[in-house]
Structure 1
Amino acid sequence: MEQTSVMQDRDVIDGHHAVHYVNRVGWLRAAVLGANDGIVSTASLLTGIAVSGASRDAILLSGIAALFAGAMSMAAGEYVSVSAQSDTENADLAKEKKALAQQPHVEWEELRDIYIARGLKPDLAGQVATQLMDADALAAHARDELGISEVSTARPIQAALTSAATFAAGAIFPVLAAVISPGSTAITSVVLTSLLCLALLGFIGAWLGGGHWARSVARVTFWGVLAMAVTAGAGRLFGAAI
């Protein structure tokens, strides 16, 4: 609790204006996912190939290929998935805009009932619904009926670029560890470097998102260890078979 409270205090400006963590959700999710995937997938691939008995050149080539292929895959995947979310949001907004034009009173009642369900008295809820619809009816319904806001709205290009860049940033560390390490210590260097990077990523993600750092670090390192262990087992098994 104290650690989380300290993190929150750092984001208080002028004593009372807080920078809320939810404002970072759009890019933070893509950044953490990209970096984590870059570290884990590249390190796992290098480990699996190394234990299979492949040559040093083959290991390094595989790592570099994984970096570029993974970054492009992350960019394409994020763009496609977030674009689908954006299309859904736009379709809902179009339906809401049409409903506001055809039956404004029904839409007013929907908004009023939402505020009543949240605890406002009927008269006050009606006044709030009226004032918000007079100001911007579509924005009011998008936010309170559909749950679409400026903070949560889909941004495909931002998600794609963030994921690609952070994947490459994460993947470069296990690749560099393999490059600078002698052949006999390459596996150990890749594993240790990757686990250190994952722990740092977990801490930074918790710090930026206001979460508990120990839980975040444990989570990302556990899955990193599991991924590398499974891939190493597969590399040894199939490498011996080949």
Structure 2
Amino acid sequence: MTEATHDEPHGGDLGTRLNWLRAAVLGANDGIVSTAGLVVGVAGATGARAALLTAGLAGLLAGSISMAAGEYISVFTQRDSEKAALAMERRELREQPEEELEELTGLLAARGLSDDVAREAAVQLTERDALRAHARVELGIDPDALANPWHAAGASFLAFTVGALLPLLAIVLPPPSVRLYVTILSVLTALALTGWWSARLGSAPVGRAMVRNVGGGALAMAVTYGAGSLLGAAGV
């Protein structure tokens, strides 16, 4: 029992690490699907390696920068909201400490502690660090680990780029006669892996997630290849 307990991950930031890992998997998945759809669509219209490389690089750069910018704005907004909530809590603790102590006691009691134990715990937590206690129990915020928009933007940029490189390299490196088949096989295999990984991280059914992932990617490539073939045949 002691060894099992010792081996369990008790880090307070475990949930945060899992969220970052899940976001990285989803970012890579987006890079795979969007870039694969782009280069396969272009391959339907032309077999020129230069055109495929140009389209793939443009899609990679546009997608990764867009993902990074969107994540930066989103997380920056979240960080501002967290700071505002902490500032309000700090003011309430200064202006009405007794009411805040009662509030903390009620929150702890709502988590299953008896009234007496909840009161004693609230008093001790308040004496140790009132703001941190209220931030974690009431707001669900760790004041020492606020969301970092630069980290989020960098992770999104890197994840999308890694994902996008697979279809880009698969479409430009093989000989023209097999490049489309290599790309489709590589993309579907990668999507099966990211579907499996995301399901494992979220404790969801693995088979269903893999089928959804592979099916969505296959549909995207089929649609863009069909559109590219029509445009190529029309001489556009």
Same fold (TM over 0.5): yes
Q: Which string of whole-angstrom CA distances, capped at 9 and with x for unpartnered residues, describes residues 105-139 of structure 1?
A: 11111111112222222222111111111111111
Match of 1:222 among 195, 215, 233: 215
Q: Percent identity?
A: 49
Change in 2 beyond 3 A, CA 1:221/1:14: farther
Identify the residue that residue 177 of structure 1 maps to in structure 2: 170
Corresponding residue for 1:55? Answer: 48
State the shift of 1:44 in Å.
Answer: 0.7
Contact (CA 8 Å) 1:47, 1:232: kept in 2 or not? Answer: yes
Tell me the CA shift for residue 58 of structure 1: 0.8
TM-score (normalizing by structure 1): 0.84
Q: Is the 8 A contact 1:195 1:225 kept in 2?
A: yes
* Alignment match of 1:45 (pick from 38, 47, 60): 38
Structure 1 residue matching 2:112: 3-state secondary structure:
coil
* Residues 1:79 and 2:68 are matched in the alignment: no
Partners of 1:207 and 1:213 within 8 A in 2? yes
The aligned amino acid for 2:82 is: E
Q: Report if the CA contact (8 A) 1:178-1:187 is conserved.
A: yes
- 1:22 matches 2:15: yes
Distance verdict in 2 for CA 1:150–1:100, change over 3 Å: closer
1:145-203 CA-partner distances (Å, limit 9, x unpaired) = 11113798422121111111111111111111111222243322222111111112233
Aligned to 2:116: 123
Show the counterpart of 1:159. 152
User: 1:193-208 maps to which residues of 2 (within 5 A)?
Assistant: 193-207=186-200
Question: Tell me, which stretches of 5 or more residues in structure 2 are unaligned?
Answer: none
Q: How many residue pairs were aligned?
A: 230
Contact 1:22/1:151 (<8 A) preserved? no
| Equivalent-residue separation in structure 2 for 1:234 and 1:103 (angstroms) | 65
Runs of 4 or more consecutive aligned structure 1 residues displaced over 6 Å after TM superposition = none
Local SS of the residue matching 2:4: coil
Task: Flag structure 1 segments of 5+ consecutive residues without an equivalent.
Answer: 1-12
Give the corresponding residue for 2:179: 186
Q: What is the alpha-carbon distance in structure 2 between the residues aligned to residue 99 and residue 235 of structure 1? A: 61
Contact kept in structure 2, 1:195 and 1:221, CA below 8 Å: yes
CA RMSD for the aligned pairs? 2.5
Amino acid at match of 1:137: A
Contact 2:75 2:149 in 1 (8 A): yes
Secondary structure at 1:80's aligned position in 2?
helix
**Bigger Cα displacement from structure 2, 44-53 vs 146-155:** 146-155
| Among candidates 139, 144, 150, match of residue 146 of structure 1 | 139
Q: CA separation in 2, counterparts of 1:115 and 1:222? A: 46
Compared with structure 1, are the counterparts of its residues 42 and 99 closer, same or farther at alpha carbon in structure 2 (3 Å cutoff)? same
Q: 1:123 to 1:100 in 2, by over 3 A?
A: same
Contact 2:26 2:198 in 1 (8 A): no
The amino acid that maps onto 1:29 is R
Q: Structure 2-normalised TM-score?
A: 0.86
Tell me by how many angstroms 1:87 deviates.
Answer: 0.7
Q: Which moved more, 1:122-131 or 1:219-228?
A: 219-228
Closer, same or farther in 2 for the Cα pair 1:151/1:15, shift >3 Å? farther
* 1:148 aligned counterpart, secondary structure: coil
